[in-house]
Amino acid sequence: MTLRVYIIRRLILVFPTLIGLTLIVFILTHVGGYQRFLGEYVNIHSAIPVAVQEQRLTQQFHLNDPIFVQYFYWLSAFLQGNWGYTQTPIYSGTVLGAIGLFLPNTIILAAFSSILTIIIGIPVGVWSAVKKDSLVDHSTRIFSFIGYSMPVYWLGLILIIAFASPAVCPCLNIFPISGSVNIALTNNLSWFTSGISYPTHILLIDSLIHGRLDIFVDAALHQVLPVVTLTFSILASIIRVMRSSMEDTLNQDYIRTARAKGLRQGAIINEHARRNALIPVITLTGYTIAGLLGGVVLIEAVFNLPGIGYWTTEALISGDIGGIMGGTVIFGLAFIFSNLIVDILYGFFDPRIRY
């Protein structure tokens, strides 16, 4: 089986998972009758009275038919982009609209931290495995243990205290602790309203588009603490896995063979051990990504960043079904597709998997 075949097969395997995801969301909206479902699809801002809307919805989604018929109609609506409405303090309108506004910020946050994690985590893990039982090793282990066990939102709070509380040290008040930008800079801007910037909704880009360097710098500063927090929370587990898998690899027979061939230490680690050691790390990336996405929710809540997570928590507090389900779907999709990419990478890394 060639690599291409493997990739194609993997792509096909995505569909059942997607069906499952939608099915779960659909069932959740139907637990105990379809009232919650109606709640998701009724638009209270429209002129049409709720009762009428509900009646229409009942017809549109065939709510009186058997459940799988309903699923079918719901799915078609879902695929046509009708995801219902959300009413939260920070946004009120269609679910898709909300996602369009909030997703970019989340992506930025997640992207920054994942990149940081990879460029820090893997070398450190390798290093501490090679220098087993050395001071380096022990300190990285302690670090990863604490990082692994630290509640991420709490870490966020601690950072907030450290960088904002006068009790600690005014010298530390360099990083802003809340929101995505300093309101003072942005009030009565045409392209920035209620925490959302236009056109790309990514403030870092929009500020440059509108040539406002000061806003760009301020926005960048606002990103620092969240990114650091999120990175810290996932870095630990990556280092941990990388270290242990590198340790195993170094005990393999083929490493002994490499030594018997007279290869230098460097060559053994870089050319023989590292690639093998990465394979189990890749397989475990799925869980890391899950942790990352979970972390996003909490961190956006702590730092009031207008992202999907923030929106979802707002929806939870204000009991808004549309927001909850929308958030779940988006996180689910993000998770499924990032795992897809990981698996394809896996195919590149391990020649055995193609056979």
Partner 1 sequence: MARFDQTKLTLRILFENVTSAAGLLIVLGYVLIAIIDAVYPQLIGVVNAYAEVPDYTNPVPQPPSLQHLFGTTYPGIDLYQAVVAAIRVDLWYSFVIVLAGALVGILVGVVAAYYSGFFDEILMRITDIFLSIPYLPFAIAVGFVLGRGLDELSLALVIVWWPLYARYARGQALSIKENAYVEAARASGVGSWGIITKHIVPNVLTPVFVQISLDLGTVVQTFAALTFIGFASANPLLPELGKLISDGFPYAISAPWVVIFPGVTILIFAVAMNLLGDGLRDALDPRNRT
Partner 2 sequence: MIQETEPNHTPGSEELLRVSGLRISFVTRSGVIQAIDDVSFEVKPGETLGLVGETGCGKTQTAISIMRLTPEAGIIEKGEIWFRGTNLAKNIDKEFRIVSKKNRKVLKRNKAKLNNLERELADIRGNHISMVFQEPMTSLNPVRSIGRQVSEVLLTHDLPRLSNRILARHAVPPEALREVADALAHQRVSRENIRELVGKYDIPGLEEQITSVIYRRDISEGSKIQRIKGLKQEVNSASLPFLRGVSAQGKIPAAYRFPARIPILRARFLGLLEKEALAVSSELLSMVGMPNISSVLKGYPHELSGGMRQRVMIAMAIAASPELIIADEPTSALDVTIQAQILQLFRELKANLNTSILFISHDMGVIAEICDRVGIMYAGNLVEIADIVDLFSDPRHPYTKGLLSAIPPSDRKVETLGLIRGSVPNLMNPPAGCRFNTRCPFVFDKCSQMPPPIPVKEGHYVRCWLYEK
Interface ranges with partner 2 (CB under 8 A): 134, 252-254, 256-265, 267, 271-272, 275-276, 279, 349-352, 355
Could you tell me the CA-to-CA distances from 257 to 253, 260, 272 in Å, in that order?
A: 6, 5, 10
**Given the structure tokens 């009232």, which residue do they identify?**
35
Map residues 6-45 to x or -, x wherever contact with partner 1 holds by CB under 8 A: ----------xx--xx-xxx--xx-x----x---------
- Give the long-range contacts of residues 133-142, CB within 8 A, separation 24 or more: 137/243, 140/239, 140/243, 141/243
On the question of a cis peptide bond just before residue 16, with omega within 30 degrees of 0, the verdict is: no
Residue 264 interacts with, from partner 1, partner 2, none (CB under 5-8 Å by kind): partner 2
The answer to whether 179 contacts partner 1 (rule: CB under 8 A) is: no
What residue type is 217 in one-letter code?
A: V
The answer to whether 176 contacts partner 1 (rule: CB under 8 A) is: no
Residue 317 interacts with, from partner 2, partner 1, none (CB under 5-8 Å by kind): partner 1
Tell me whether residue 160 or residue 279 sits nearer to partner 2 (CB atom): 279
Tell me whether residue 144 or residue 197 sits nearer to partner 1 (CB atom): 144
Exactly one of 312, 322, 343, 347 binds partner 1 (CB under 8 A); that residue is 312
Round to whole Å and give the CA distance between 134 and 112: 31
Q: Which residues fall within 8 angstroms of residue 168, CB to CB, at 6 or more apart?
A: 161, 162
Q: How far is the CB of 238 from partner 2 (least distance, A)?
A: 20
**Given the structure tokens 């898709």, which residue do they identify?**
96
Residue 209 interacts with, from partner 1, partner 2, none (CB under 5-8 Å by kind): none
The answer to whether 107 contacts partner 1 (rule: CB under 8 A) is: no
Q: How far is the CB of 68 from partner 2 (least distance, A)?
A: 45
The answer to whether 254 contacts partner 1 (rule: CB under 8 A) is: no
Q: Give the tokens for residue 134.
A: 């050395």
Using only C-alpha atoms, the chain has a radius of gyration, in whole angstroms, of 24
Residue 229 interacts with, from partner 2, partner 1, none (CB under 5-8 Å by kind): none
Q: How far is the CB of 288 from partner 2 (least distance, A)?
A: 22
Q: Is 52 exposed, middle or buried (0-12, 13-18, 19+ CB in 10 A)?
A: exposed
Tell me whether residue 30 or residue 274 sits nearer to partner 2 (CB atom): 274
Round to whole Å and give the CA distance between 135 and 201: 46
* Interacting positions 125-154 with partner 1 (CB under 8 A): 145-146, 148-154
Round to whole Å and give the CA distance between 269 and 267: 6
Buried b (16+ CB within 10 A) or exposed e, 266-283: eebbeebbbebbbebbbe
The answer to whether 224 contacts partner 1 (rule: CB under 8 A) is: no
CB of 230 within 8 A of CB of 150? no
Binding site for partner 1 (CB under 8 A): 16-17, 20-21, 23-25, 28-29, 31, 36, 145-146, 148-154, 157-158, 160-161, 164-165, 167, 286, 289-291, 293-294, 297-298, 301, 312-313, 316-317, 319, 321, 324-325, 327-328, 331-332, 334-336, 339
